[in-house]
Amino acid sequence: MRSDFYDNIGISALAINFVLRHQPNIDIAKVYLILPFLLHKSSITLISKIKTEKSIDEFVATYPAIAANFHSHFTSYLALTTNTLLFLHDIGLIKINGRKINQLKTIDYEKKMGKRANEIFKVSYQLSKILDSSSDDLYTHLRIWL
């Protein structure tokens, strides 16, 4: 069970920002996958093991456990993702344009952001490469039902 103090809008804003640095124009359906990956310790551990770019089907084939609980993580982060997107929009860091999220400004990573932000920052590029797959493929391979 996640803690509302541990998984908060601040760390969520950083996580989304770090991925958007690599994909500044992204489908909103993909943005909703960022927090379930990056705010879950075991997902970060698995992503950090990736040494080459992987598609979602390669990632799930290599680490099948990721898909086993992903729907549960996805649903538990829906509200936080929505609130974080609205926050980032309100402070002028992103633009919500229909089904697309466009990054307008970035938050630069600094070591003083802490250990957790550092772990998220380190895997944000690998996650952005996984998110290169189509939204349909991502949701299918991660066994998310809507």
pLDDT tens digit sequence for 41-78: 999 999 998 877 788 999 999 999 888 889 999 999 99
Cα 63 to the center of its chain, rounded Å: 17
For residue 51, the tally of other CB atoms under 10 A from its CB is: 7
Q: Is residue 4 pLDDT above 80, yes or no? A: no
Query: For the chain, how far is it from start to end, CA to CA, in angstroms?
Result: 21
| Residues whose CB is less than 8 angstroms from the CB of residue 110 and which lie 6 or more positions away in sequence, other chains included | none
- Position 146 scores a pLDDT of 78
pTM beyond 0.85, yes or no: yes
Task: Tally DSSP H helices, then E strands, for the chain.
Answer: 10, 3
